[in-house]
């Protein structure tokens, strides 16, 4: 397309690299490589914690897919997206201080470290590591595809070339800078998202002749667009509400989110992050989904939902401002991908290799291995994304739902229910994953709700039953 759009995007990438390099200096000088590389040395302050939470969560599914679906469905989809406000405070309040205290006591660097110490079971660790590697790998592939499509549609470079640019940019700073680089770039990316969506929303409203005018246009085209029920009335209240589990409270179980809840410095950082996170996540979600809806009367007839954001930005803004604004969705994708990459890498190195293959590996060996595993994973995702499956949003949500069903109860009961034990945790993870996979393929949207609801309930039942049934037996053994 034109240079004025591309230059701000390039400047943004340069800035990201710069952050990566300065973080790598801290990694090199740190005396505890694992905690530094995978957790930023547990030093995150309030703003960084809030931003990295929001940015990790505000992924391609909501940023590229979201406004596109809002364009098609109208206000009903904005209503659905606003169920994510709850994540801003719920995750940190629920995991909260208890999780931070326990993680420090166990010296846990990953979610799996926590599960390992809490349940003392090899099988819990292996099932957890396996599901993180499989599910997050597919989530990551979905995100890379989104990033490459975005670069493709903005710059006109071929999909392969765009994928290459995207892969190199992310890989460089994650590999050298670790979690600290991820958190710092997430903060920058979060700020870009916040400002970018605000500018674009205002410009869209102005281009549409004011809110009342846009609403009148929408109502004239299809009155359903301004109801909570979607363009063809297909969004039932049960379906929309069930997203409170998928993208709202269920997020407590996502490993990429929980790992952040053990990374902060002190309770003051956590308190600050609660407030900042709630405001930022709500603001970004509201803005960007409204952009999708408001774009409809201005640019009717866009068929590929993923292109709504880039096209409306180019339509209503001067080219160089569009470049800055379009850095926002790219920021969203990069900030999700970077944390997933690091998490999958930590599952391989820390949870599998160090636990069961070579517990006595030297620090230097761990360092080399972490960096090369991260790089190898990145290249592997790149190869997967060259010939990608089609449904971006659903591939991504599949991964989220599966992980939530697997981890939510082992995490929550691990913290708050003393009778919870390894049998319950293992049963809960297996039931969650298997039922999610089966229901997703054979009986989606049971009772008109999103597929995630039943597996979460089933894994709850499995945890409670598994723990209580084995509880008395274990007690007898300890007495004997």
Partner 1 sequence: MKERQQDRRFRIAHREALIGVGLAVFNFIWWYGFAYGLGSKPPEEYSYVFGLPAWFFYSCVLGFVVMCILVIVVVKFWFVEVPLDDEPEDEGWDEQ
Residue linked to tokens 């993870």: 429
* CB-nearer residue toward partner 1: 244 or 380: 244
Complex with partner 1: residue 17 or 417, whichever CB lies closer? 417
**Shortest separation between residue 271's beta carbon and partner 1, angstroms:** 5
Q: Which is nearer to partner 1, 63 or 77 (CB)?
A: 77
Q: Which is nearer to partner 1, 145 or 270 (CB)?
A: 270
For 411, the 3-state DSSP assignment is helix
Question: Within 10 Å of residue 222's Cβ, how many Cβ atoms?
Answer: 13
Residue with smaller CB distance to partner 1, 249 or 317: 249
**Terminal CA-CA length for the chain:** 75
Pick from 376, 395, 373: which is nearest to 144 by CA? 395
- Judged by DSSP in three states, 264 sits in strand
How many alpha carbons lie under 13 Å from residue 289 in its C-beta half-sphere?
Answer: 24
| Cα(255)–Cα(253) distance, integer angstroms | 6
408 and 251 in contact (C-beta within 8 Å)? Answer: no
Reported residue count of the chain is: 480
Residue 351 in tokens: 């949870």
Pick between residue 270 and residue 393 the one whose CB is nearest to partner 1: 270
**Closest approach of Cβ 377 to partner 1, in Å?**
31
Q: Which is nearer to partner 1, 289 or 422 (CB)?
A: 289
Specify whether the CB–CB gap between 179 and 37 falls below 8 A.
yes
Decide whether 8 or 230 has the Cβ nearer to partner 1. 230
Strands, DSSP E only, in 40-167? none
- Least distance to partner 1, CB of residue 58, Å: 15
Burial 404-425 (b: 16+ CB within 10 A, else e): bbbbbbbbbbbbeeeebbbbbb
Q: Give the residue from 202, 199, 203 showing the smallest Cα distance to 191.
A: 199
User: Least distance from C-beta 272 to partner 1, angstroms?
Assistant: 8
Q: Which is nearer to partner 1, 91 or 439 (CB)?
A: 91
Closest CA to 305 of 150, 160, 189: 150
**DSSP annotation of 305:** G
As measured in angstroms, the least distance from the Cβ of 357 to partner 1 is: 30
Query: Contact positions toward partner 1, by CB under 8 A?
Result: 75, 78-79, 82-83, 85-86, 88-90, 92-94, 96-98, 100-101, 104-105, 210-212, 214-215, 219, 223-224, 226-229, 237, 241, 244, 248-249, 266-268, 271, 274-275, 278-279, 282-283, 286, 416
Q: Could you tell me the two tokens for 299?
A: 């640019």
Min dist. Cβ of residue 205 to partner 1 (A):
9
What are residue 338's phi and psi, to 5 degrees?
A: -60, -40
Smallest separation (angstroms) from partner 1 to the CB of 240: 8
Helix, strand and coil in the chain, % to nearest 5: 85, 0, 15
Facing residues of 264 across strands?
A: 44
> What residues pair up with 44 in beta bridges, in sequence order?
264
CA 321, distance to chain mean position in Å, is: 27
Helix (H), strand (E) at residue 188: helix 159-207
Q: CB of 198: closest distance to partner 1 in angstroms?
A: 14
- Which one, 8 or 88, has the nearer CB to partner 1? 88
CB 263 within 8 A of CB 44: yes
Phi, psi of 17 (to 5 degrees): -60, -45
CB of 51 to partner 1, least distance (A): 16
Rounded to the nearest whole angstrom, what is the least distance from the CB of residue 440 to partner 1 in the complex? Answer: 25
Q: With respect to partner 1, which residue has the nearer C-beta, 251 or 311? A: 251
**At closest approach, how far in Å is the CB of 35 from partner 1?**
13
Interatomic CA distance for residues 209 and 207, integer angstroms? 6
CB 286 within 8 A of CB 193: no
271 vs 419 by CB, closer to partner 1: 271
> What's the closest the beta carbon of residue 286 comes to partner 1, in angstroms?
6
Question: Which residue from 447, 473, 480, 422 is spatially nearest to 119, judged by alpha carbons?
Answer: 422
d(CA 78, CA 420) in angstroms, rounded, equals 38
């Amino acid at each position: 397309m034109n240079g004025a759009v591309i230059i701000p995007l390039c400047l943004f990438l340069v800035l990201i690299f710069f952050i990566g390099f300065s973080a790598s200096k801290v990694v090199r000088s740190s005396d505890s490589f694992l905690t530094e590389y995978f957790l930023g040395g547990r030093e995150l302050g309030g703003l960084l914690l809030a931003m990295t939470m929001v940015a990790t969560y505000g992924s391609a599914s909501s940023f590229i897919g979201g406004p596109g679906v809002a364009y098609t469905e109208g206000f009903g989809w904005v209503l659905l997206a606003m169920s994510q406000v709850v994540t801003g405070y719920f995750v940190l309040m629920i995991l909260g201080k208890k999780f931070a205290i326990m993680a420090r006591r166990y010296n846990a660097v990953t979610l799996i470290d926590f599960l390992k110490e809490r349940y003392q079971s090899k099988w819990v660790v292996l099932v957890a590591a396996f599901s993180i590697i499989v599910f997050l790998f597919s989530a990551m592939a979905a995100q890379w595809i989104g990033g490459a499509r975005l670069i493709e549609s903005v710059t006109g470079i071929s999909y392969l070339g765009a994928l290459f640019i995207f892969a190199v940019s992310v890989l460089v700073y994650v590999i050298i800078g670790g979690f600290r680089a991820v958190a710092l770039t997430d903060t920058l990316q979060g700020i870009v998202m916040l400002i970018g969506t605000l500018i674009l929303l205002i410009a869209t409203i102005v281009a549409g002749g004011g809110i009342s005018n846009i609403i009148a246009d929408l109502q004239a085209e299809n009155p359903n667009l301004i109801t909570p029920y979607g363009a063809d009335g297909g969004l039932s209240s049960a379906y929309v509400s069930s997203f409170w589990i998928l993208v709202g409270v269920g997020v407590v179980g996502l490993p990429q989110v929980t790992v952040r809840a053990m990374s902060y410095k002190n309770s003051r950082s956590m308190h600050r992050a609660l407030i900042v996170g709630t405001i930022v996540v709500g603001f970004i979600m509201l803005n960007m989904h409204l952009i999708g809806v408001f774009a409809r009367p201005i640019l009717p007839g866009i068929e590929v939902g993923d292109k709504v954001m880039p096209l409306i930005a180019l339509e209503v803004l001067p080219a160089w401002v569009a470049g800055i604004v379009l850095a926002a969705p790219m920021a969203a994708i990069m900030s999700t991908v970077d944390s997933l990459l690091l998490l999958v890498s930590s599952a391989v190195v820390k949870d599998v290799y160090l636990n069961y293959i070579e517990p006595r590996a030297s620090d230097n060996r761990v360092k080399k291995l972490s960096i090369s595993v991260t790089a190898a994973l990145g290249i592997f995702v790149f190869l997967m994304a060259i010939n990608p499956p089609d449904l971006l949003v659903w591939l991504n949500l599949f991964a989220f739902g599966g992980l939530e069903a697997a981890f939510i109860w082992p995490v929550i009961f691990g913290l708050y229910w003393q009778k919870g034990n390894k049998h319950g945790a293992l049963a809960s993870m297996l039931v969650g994953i298997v039922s999610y996979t089966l229901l997703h393929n054979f009986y989606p949207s049971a009772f008109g709700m999103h597929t995630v609801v039943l597996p979460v309930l089933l894994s709850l039942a499995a945890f409670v039953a598994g723990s209580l049934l084995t509880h008395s037996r274990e007690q007898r053994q300890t007495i004997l």
